[in-house]
Structure 1
């Protein structure tokens, strides 16, 4: 466990968890007067750290100034003589395995520990590490509370960093792309930007078997560009280090603890420190991000003075109810729906309902930084994308049925003039009966086939809206089916049109014996052309709907979307092919005039004009949907990358 002054720039250890001692509760207050109780396993202090002074030389280090101080450690800014570099040196008793834990961690968003040194005959251990001059998130949090929500932005983060730089007489970086990016962010986007990097750090630590267990603003340092780095793993537990146990490393700050970590603190609960996993750290990170976003923590814990654990019970009861509505109502007006959903998932009372890994959380927070992507995945409540999700079947049916119906009407009129009107009256009557029978069978059959092959796409989202849970493989199947829905609509429609192109002349020939091969070929060709029309236009209408509305709905419930990037790219490539088909319709209409007998031209000119002009207008619409879908696919590819 560690405590920091708001001006501290490096991690400080104020307890050594390897020295046996009874757990204790400390009632502390932060600068706002709010309780920040901490649970520690404290050692017996055998070394007088107060005797160490600025200006001393310890081994290879000249101590320049003190950066921070805790009960069991002091941190100095120092010059390492052998390497001629500035480092942060943490001076503590030679106890515990913090160096071994930190030696496993090499990540962009974790404070880099270089090495340790033991001062002979003193019982002192020197842990020297990367020096970060931008302060801590605790410094930033103080500034957040001083500004109204409407006045907070990414510049607030940079102002906090610059204030820390000035206090150390350091120069602010110039021409920094990172700082320029941060300055342009809204405050919710800034919180997501910070959180995404910290989630990556926790994911990395988890992969190497390390749990932090004390995530709080004071333990998150900032570089001169505002990049966060996780520090103070002194109460963490590394599974790969021999002769250690989770209990030996137990501790943390109560206000940021997960419910299961609070239970492990309580003597009457069966849960132990060994039961904790990375979801506990992600919960703590959720508390930190919520506090940064709003200036207050999601749970209004009250200061307690009892030592019987009743304060832990009160905290557990409060967290078991989830984030209160009063805290949700305090979220800033410009908070994206996506960020609200993500933080609430982080703070779910049951850890099974949280993100399983830091990678999942990082991916979701990264999406918040992409305006188009977050609007796709978490559209506003009044958005048509959200309202139409529960009407998936009617929407897809209309998108597929209307173009097919119009093509059918055109085909009937086209063949009526060129072929049917030239048949004997009884043959014309039979043709009308055949037309009614085929259409009466094909249209319901097509709808039934589409519903069946799209059953996962329809059933899973509906169930999720009802609060049901599905295995990951079913959700993955639903996502995959969603991305090929438009192709299935096109394939079923084209197949039925081609089949009709064979059945119409065949049945008419069998019933009348009056269709020659030229008329039959013309009949088939006309249905094939109309079929291509009924394929291209529904594809873009259905793709636009599923990509903008249905597929993004499944992403928050998906844990592994790594394979979706290729599927999205494939849909994008197929869209180009369908666009070429749509562009060919007006050309086919004009070309078709050359195959019409001269005597029939006067009667067909109007129909061909309608086909050509309608095809041009339809292509313009298809191209617009293509461009919109293309941009949506690009945004979704960034989400799943």
Structure 2
């Protein structure tokens, strides 16, 4: 709780905004800022146009005599550590400071930084509220930027590839584009020990091509700066505050500003992004709320509950589910359930812009993937059975033809009966082994569908098992075929004496059948679990570098299995006729031709699935790779 004898409250109205800002400052004397206006010359700077005004200072577009350039100059009381804080930050989406001057005769500090000509997100919000939902797109952001730039003296729009990209984005994609850059800026600040504490549209500047720049660290807290107290200059804009920051501002609640962390800043950023998406914040605050204890009580109470469904209904119809989920996660009343870092939030926002990746993570409700999502058993069972049936059909057709010259009809019936019996034993046994080996692939999605929560380690193991699911089914299929054939061969040798050529042919044909069972089972199973199951696990837990490594290994295994599938027709043709005398070769030619035709169809299907898997793996790679590494 803030001690009243240490702090004084100064409520100010930010220019261009109807949002009250509570700022707690150390008690002082008069306010020399009142005399600073456009047209004034301070030091070597001509103050030309006012750009904004806050609780601690005023910002002007100015001309610097010595460098003959335009800069943004902030004039403030000389009692803030903002310049030292900004000097430690070097990020593309944080305003870059050049230097500072202290005006000894006035007790003011002059800090000059890069001039950002595209206005602020406040200008964008004003335009959003005037434009119908269906007419909003990335072009709206550029219109707001160009209007602000023209007011600052820039007439022609600044052409760039970024502007071309924004022109083709929907409005939700544009908001996600802005948010991912700001989230990474907050992550950089957090890594530097800095908490902004006043995220709002007026403190987010825009370049001429729409790139956002985080500004105004006047009430930030730098935990790495010696002597910097989290209580000094504490406050912020009430509308965008997290519930824990509102509690720290409340005079009667026991909440310590030192307990705030980057999740509080991310909460405020999520409020800003929600307001950009819908035109209003996700809370029903009074139009002219003040900062009395009663008003703060009501604001805190609203933010201690999840976002109301009627505010969620304000989201645009084309808002990707992954964007909605990311915002609601950041707006959770409990900081423990929010994203732990700006990078995590940014990754989700990047997914919202990646149309291929977001359809994997959040498929449309009407799609087949959405209906079968996180339900592995039906399709996995059918996929694995299909490969086994194709292999069994080939082996039966080929072996019965080859053995017709060596076995009587009764002996062939005995052998077929044994084959059926072994199949009835082997297939359920294989299923039982797989149920245990892939148990996490079954019971964890079952639990998630019913609202259960799992720790990150459990989810990581489930993801690993998912990517290995196709291999495990292939291994069980191969071992099952080898075991079954061994028993059949043992029985066969008791029924008749076989020539070495026929024996070698049967062994080779068994290997071909096993290859059919393995390759034609692997691809459909892997395709299903990667596209319809793995994304659900990926979005539930925090990912790790091992996830990317496993995806790379899966890509290599896919190439191996594709090679195996492609060689089935060639090996089958050779193995089906090898070692046999002419009469038996003539009898077996039908099964070999059927294998070649079926193998070519199987290769075509496998190749199609291989390329689909490659696209999915590339999308997952984008999901798991930080933009700084791309």
TM superposition score category, shorter chain reference: over 0.9
Q: Secondary structure at the match of 2:375?
A: helix
1:168 to 2:152 alignment: yes
Return the alpha-carbon distance in structure 2 between the equivalents of residues 167 and 304 of structure 1: 30
1:177 to 2:136 alignment: no
Cα pair 1:75 1:88 within 8 Å, conserved: yes
**1:637 counterpart residue number:** 621
The Cα of 1:515 is off from its aligned counterpart by: 4.0
The Cα of 1:47 is off from its aligned counterpart by: 4.0
1:91 alignment partner, one of 71, 75, 78 = 75
- TM-score normalised by length of structure 1: 0.92
**1:449 counterpart residue number:** 433
Return the alpha-carbon distance in structure 1 between the equivalents of residues 404 and 344 of structure 2: 62
Which runs of structure 2 are paired with 1:188-207 in the superposition (5 Å)?
A: 188-207=172-191
* Structural RMSD (CA): 2.3
**1:132 counterpart residue number:** 116
Segments of structure 1 that go 5 or more residues without pairing to the other structure are 1-16
1:627 alignment partner, one of 582, 607, 611 = 611
**2:7 counterpart residue number:** 21
2:63 alignment partner, one of 79, 82, 90 = 79
Which runs of structure 2 are paired with 1:394-405 in the superposition (5 Å)?
A: 394-405=378-389
Return the alpha-carbon distance in structure 2 between the equivalents of residues 354 and 172 of structure 1: 42
**2:628 counterpart residue number:** none
2:216 alignment partner, one of 229, 232, 236 = 232
The Cα of 1:394 is off from its aligned counterpart by: 2.2
- Alpha carbons of 1:73 and 1:38: their partners in 2 closer, same or farther (altered >3 Å)? closer
- Alpha carbons of 1:321 and 1:27: their partners in 2 closer, same or farther (altered >3 Å)? farther
Which runs of structure 2 are paired with 1:508-523 in the superposition (5 Å)?
A: 508-509=492-493, 511-512=494-495, 514-523=497-506
The Cα of 1:557 is off from its aligned counterpart by: 1.8
CA deviations over 1:587-615 (Å, ceiling 9, x no partner): 23333454243223453333222211111
Which runs of structure 2 are paired with 1:306-325 in the superposition (5 Å)?
A: 308-325=292-309
**1:534 counterpart residue number:** 517
Which moved further from structure 2: 51-60 or 352-361? 51-60
- TM-score normalised by length of structure 2: 0.93
**1:105 counterpart residue number:** 89
The Cα of 1:621 is off from its aligned counterpart by: 1.3
The Cα of 1:72 is off from its aligned counterpart by: 3.9
**1:14 counterpart residue number:** none
Cα pair 2:92 2:213 within 8 Å, conserved: yes
Cα pair 1:257 1:284 within 8 Å, conserved: yes
- Alpha carbons of 1:407 and 1:71: their partners in 2 closer, same or farther (altered >3 Å)? closer
**2:453 counterpart residue number:** 469
The Cα of 1:262 is off from its aligned counterpart by: 1.4
Return the alpha-carbon distance in structure 2 between the equivalents of residues 420 and 271 of structure 1: 87
Which moved further from structure 2: 428-437 or 604-613? 428-437
Cα pair 1:505 1:515 within 8 Å, conserved: no
1:585 to 2:571 alignment: no
Q: Secondary structure at the match of 2:462?
A: helix
CA deviations over 1:240-295 (Å, ceiling 9, x no partner): 11222212232011111111111222233222111111111111111100100111
1:556 alignment partner, one of 534, 539, 545 = 539
The Cα of 1:18 is off from its aligned counterpart by: 13
Which moved further from structure 2: 479-488 or 418-427? 418-427
1:340 to 2:338 alignment: no
Return the alpha-carbon distance in structure 1 between the equivalents of residues 145 and 5 of structure 2: 36
Return the alpha-carbon distance in structure 2 between the equivalents of residues 434 and 442 of structure 1: 12
**2:398 counterpart residue number:** 414
Q: Secondary structure at the match of 1:528?
A: helix
Q: Secondary structure at the match of 1:563?
A: helix
The Cα of 1:472 is off from its aligned counterpart by: 1.1
1:479 alignment partner, one of 435, 457, 463 = 463
Q: Secondary structure at the match of 1:221?
A: strand
1:39 to 2:25 alignment: no
Segments of structure 2 that go 5 or more residues without pairing to the other structure are 626-630
Cα pair 1:162 1:224 within 8 Å, conserved: yes
1:283 to 2:230 alignment: no
Return the alpha-carbon distance in structure 2 between the equivalents of residues 290 and 70 of structure 1: 23
2:197 alignment partner, one of 191, 205, 213 = 213
The Cα of 1:319 is off from its aligned counterpart by: 1.9
Return the alpha-carbon distance in structure 1 between the equivalents of residues 623 and 288 of structure 2: 44
1:144 to 2:128 alignment: yes
- Alpha carbons of 1:172 and 1:501: their partners in 2 closer, same or farther (altered >3 Å)? farther
Cα pair 1:137 1:221 within 8 Å, conserved: yes
The Cα of 1:578 is off from its aligned counterpart by: 1.5
The Cα of 1:385 is off from its aligned counterpart by: 1.2
CA deviations over 1:5-43 (Å, ceiling 9, x no partner): xxxxxxxxxxxx999533366789976xxx633322145
The Cα of 1:626 is off from its aligned counterpart by: 1.3
**1:567 counterpart residue number:** 550
Question: How many residues end up aligned between the 2 structures?
Answer: 621
Return the alpha-carbon distance in structure 1 between the equivalents of residues 28 and 171 of structure 2: 44
1:576 to 2:559 alignment: yes
- Alpha carbons of 1:261 and 1:307: their partners in 2 closer, same or farther (altered >3 Å)? closer
Return the alpha-carbon distance in structure 2 between the equivalents of residues 488 and 350 of structure 1: 40
**1:458 counterpart residue number:** 442
The Cα of 1:132 is off from its aligned counterpart by: 0.4
Return the alpha-carbon distance in structure 2 between the equivalents of residues 632 and 305 of structure 1: 49
Which moved further from structure 2: 393-402 or 193-202? 393-402
Q: Secondary structure at the match of 1:557?
A: coil
**2:359 counterpart residue number:** 375
Which runs of structure 2 are paired with 1:106-121 in the superposition (5 Å)?
A: 106-121=90-105
Q: Secondary structure at the match of 2:282?
A: coil
Which moved further from structure 2: 153-162 or 564-573? 564-573
Which moved further from structure 2: 397-406 or 223-232? 397-406
The Cα of 1:504 is off from its aligned counterpart by: 2.0
1:297 to 2:284 alignment: no
Q: Secondary structure at the match of 2:503?
A: helix
